[in-house]
Amino acid sequence: MALAGNPNSGKTTLFNAMTGSRQHVGNYPGVTVEKKEGRFKHKDTELNVVDLPGTYSLTAYSIEEVVARNFIINDKPDVVIHVVDASNLERNLYLGIQLIELGVPVVFAFNMSDVARARGIHFDLDMLASLLGAPIVPTVGQKNKGIDELVDTAVRVARSGTKPKPSDIHYGDDIEKAIEAIRRRIDGQSGFTDDIVARWTAIKLLENDAEVAKLIQDPDIHKAVEAEQARIEKILGDSAEMIIADRRYGLISGACQKAVRSTCETRHTNSDSIDEIVIHRVWGLPIFLGLMYLVFWLTFTVGGPPMDWIEGFFGWLGGKVAGWWPTGSDSILQSLLVDGLIGGVGGVIVFLPNILLLFLAIAFLEDSGYMARAAFMMDRLMHKIGLHGKSFIPMLTGFGCSIPGIMATRTLENRRDRLTTMLVLPLMSCGARLPIYALIIPAFFPAAWHATMLWMIYVIGIALAIVSAKILRSTLFKGESVPFVMELPPYRLPTLKGVLIHMWERGGLYLKKAGTIILGVSVILWALTSYPKTETVDTTLSAEEQQFIQLSNTIAGRIGHAMEPLIKPMGFDWRIGTAMIGAFAAKEVFVAQLGIVYSVGEADDESEPLRDQLKANYSPLVGFCIMLFMLISAPCMATIAVTKRESNSWRWALFQLGGLTLMAYVLTLIVYQTGSLLGIGI
Amino acid sequence: MNPALWMPLGMVPTGRSVLLRRVQTGHGLSSRLAAMGLLPGMRVQVCHNDRNGPVILGINGSRVMLGRGTANKLSVEDTSETGI
Ligand SMILES: Nc1nc2c(ncn2[C@@H]2O[C@H](COP(=O)(O)OP(=O)(O)O)[C@@H](O)[C@H]2O)c(=O)[nH]1
């Protein structure tokens, strides 16, 4: 079975109610649209459900619509359940009519029937069902009401294969004549043995559907379509597309007049009063900023203790595993397990509480309907850089961590918008870069400047993101900015189950996918920074100095040396180069690596000896350049991996890596050279 | 129907109820708008219009926001005598 329906009709809620946790999220081949599938057993019948993307129509306007209808046409589900928001019947049935047109067995789930009843809407379900030619089951997704009956009905319809008759949808004589003329031409073609598909194709051609038009090779058919369109426009005074849409609404409102009684229209009154405050010209923005602050506060303060537990656990585990070997042993296996595997995996899992909390907050804001309002308020701003309101949420998330931010770009329908947002997102300075700034700023700048410097770094990131987005939108991703059309769902209190499932869908992906890749690369980085071993180290030296000699001889150390001529113009030496390699694994590793090259043992962002060393070796200008470079350059490997997955191509991931690194290089170079020339901060 | 009375949707102040007369957008978008209930002849309520930023419309009980550029491609006729 397949679930189809408008966004916000409660489709996901019904899907969750049917399948519980037995669901699987993947992507449709070739596109970045999520495919949710689930299996469950209903009275001895094994059922497989696919949750199609939420759409308003089955045109070719967005990928979601194309994906939904291709699934129905090609995968031929035994039955399609159309989830209808019964409190907004007419608009929802617009999709229903198109499903009937596709000639598949359909069952209507009149969801939100509680809301409809509260609004004083009464349905004559029997009459509506006979008008639509398909059974109707009222449901309340949130309360699990009507689900059993819905599945019963769906199974019955699937077994008997009863389909509504598409020919019952009559578009009026002029249009019907055109449909018939085109259908007859198509019928002769190979691959169109099915009358229903041929009729559907004819309608879509009249509607100027680009995807369907691509499938038709015969130029005669295209000519015939154009002729029919011209004829219709002449007779009826409007484009065929509009007339067809108009007829569909006519059919729906005809049916509704017969079978629906509404006492009054009150939907949204509560929502409207909330909106009066929430999107108010003056109050809207402070409320929005306050909520965002709350989200980050929640993420980082509530996330703090569990992070400490996880860190503690991995520390304990590392110690335990290390204990299997006698002290002083330098077994490769021990080092691989403790430093490579446990250290690497621990480094990723440590961020899990943050990420889950962030997603929890986002899921809450989304399910409650607030996110659509945030997009409304940010549209003005984002419009200026060629994106629209919806891009704002992922960008904001990026300040916490780029990974969930990039994953959140899924809400953007347009691929150009999505890629632009994804590519510039790492410029939002993420939480992992904070330790670097916290180390460098106090080392080089007087206390009075600290806050300003930090603020400046963040602002530079934002400014660069704006400029890059603008550049990308006017070069690679040129094209008219996509029209901003979005429904504002009424405010609802989210259910705990819904929010938790949403959170886990995204958080689990982070853990699974990013975890496997990070794991692999941490092992490689571990090897780079530990091999080859220097055999003869002067044992009279201090442990730190021994460590230093070891490191400069490893591959990473050698790469650092080899990089020196390249990074010299930015004011960096090989030590910074070595640390930069570590930063590719995770930005905060930079600090620890510098600690090792400067032989100060375990270093963190509070490390005074390391700060003194830095001060002795570099000028404030170099300090600033380090921060600038770390802000812009090579996003960490997890970000690259996620960009690859979300964009479905290595090309964009590598473009992001190369582009940002190049930008970092050029800008840092200019800053350093101009700074030295003018004698600023040296 | 008097086209002289039509105006771009973006100019209609908050609270007005108007009749949608003409949709002048590309093909893809106009069918999307139709799917959301924005079709010539339909009555829409302007729920929020700040003369800057997107416009929020009430269509048959649902709320839809439209970017200002798109809103100005829709011609409407103000038929409400009073404010609300
Ligand atoms: N009152 C009411 N709310 C519902 C019903 N079904 C779902 N909801 C709520 O409607 C909101 C949107 O549902 P969701 O399943 O995410 O919609 P989707 O976008 O179609 O997947 C959620 O907050 C649900 O809790 C219902 O039958 N009655």
Identify the CATH number of the domain defined by range B3-77: 2.30.30.90
- Quick one: pLDDT band at residue A623, thresholds 50, 70, 90? very high
Could you tell me which of A78, A117, A112, A119 has the C-alpha nearest to residue A92? Answer: A112
Number of CB atoms found within 10 A of residue A451's CB: 10
The pLDDT value recorded for residue A253 is: 84
CB contact under 8 Å between B36 and A487, yes or no, is yes
Check A245 against B34: CB less than 8 A apart.
yes
Contact in structure between B52 and B37 (CB atoms under 8 Å) = no
pLDDT at A544: 65
In this structure, of A178-187, A516-525, A643-652, the range with the lowest mean pLDDT score is: A516-525
Tell how far the Cα of A490 is from the centroid of ligand 1, in angstroms: 10
Q: What is the pLDDT of residue A616?
A: 86
What's the average model confidence in pLDDT over A552-563? 84
- DSSP structural state of residue A480: P
Whole-number pLDDT of residue B82 = 44
**Could you give the C-alpha distances from A161 to A37, A77, A79, A510, A571, in angstroms and in order?**
22, 11, 8, 41, 73
Which of A402, A419, A401 is closest to A410 using CA atoms?
A: A419
> Is the preceding peptide bond at B3 cis, omega within 30 degrees of 0?
no
Q: Whose CA is nearest to atom 14 of ligand 1?
A: A10
Q: Which residues of B touch A383 (CB under 8 A)?
A: 67
For chain A, the average pLDDT equals: 82
Region class of A679: left (phi > 0), else alpha (psi between -120 and 50), else beta: left
pLDDT tens-digit map of A591-616: 777 776 675 555 566 567 778 888 88
Q: What is the pLDDT of residue A4?
A: 93
- Please give the model's pTM, rounded to 2 decimal places: 0.73
pLDDT in tens, A225-246: 899 999 988 888 888 888 888 8
Contacts of B44 in chain A (CB under 8 A): none
From chain B, the residues in CB contact with A379 under 8 A are 53-54, 65, 67
**pLDDT for position A315:** 82
| pLDDT tens sequence across A63-117 | 788 888 889 888 889 999 999 998 888 889 999 999 988 888 999 999 999 888 8
Q: Which residues partner with A535 through β-bridges?
A: none
B37 to chain A: nearest residue by CA? A91
| Domain edges within chain A | 2-167, 170-236, 285-477+501-678
The best mutation among A142, A365, A500 to test binding of ligand 1, ranked by most ligand atoms within 8 Å of the C-beta, falls on A142
A-chain residues within 8 Å CB-CB of B3?
none
CA–CA dist B4, A581 (Å, integer): 68
Q: Hey, which of A13, A33, A495 would you mutate to test ligand 1's pocket, going by the most ligand atoms within 8 Å of its Cβ?
A: A13
Q: How many helical (H) and strand (E) elements, i.e. helices and strands, does chain A have? A: 33, 10
pLDDT at A499 over 80: yes
Residue A537, pLDDT > 70, answer no
Alpha carbon of A399: minimum distance to chain B alpha carbons (Å): 25
For A297, other C-beta atoms within 10 Å of its C-beta total 11
Q: Which of B31, B50, B65 sits opposite A245 (nearest CB)?
A: B31
For residues A386 and A35, what is the distance between their CA atoms, to the nearest angstrom?
A: 29
Q: Is the pLDDT of residue A213 over 90?
A: no
CB contact under 8 A, A484 and B54: yes
Name the token pair of A618.
């570099």
Q: Rounded to the nearest whole angstrom, what is the distance from the C-alpha of residue A163 to the centroid of ligand 1?
A: 27
Three-class secondary structure of residue A528 per DSSP: helix
Q: Could you tell me the residue ranges of all domains in chain B?
A: 3-77
State the amino acid at position A324 in one-letter form: W
Distance in angstroms (rounded) separating the CA atoms of residues A177 and A227: 12
CATH code for A2-167? 3.40.50.300
Candidates A61, A236, A268, A277: best to mutate against B (most CBs of B within 10 A) is A61
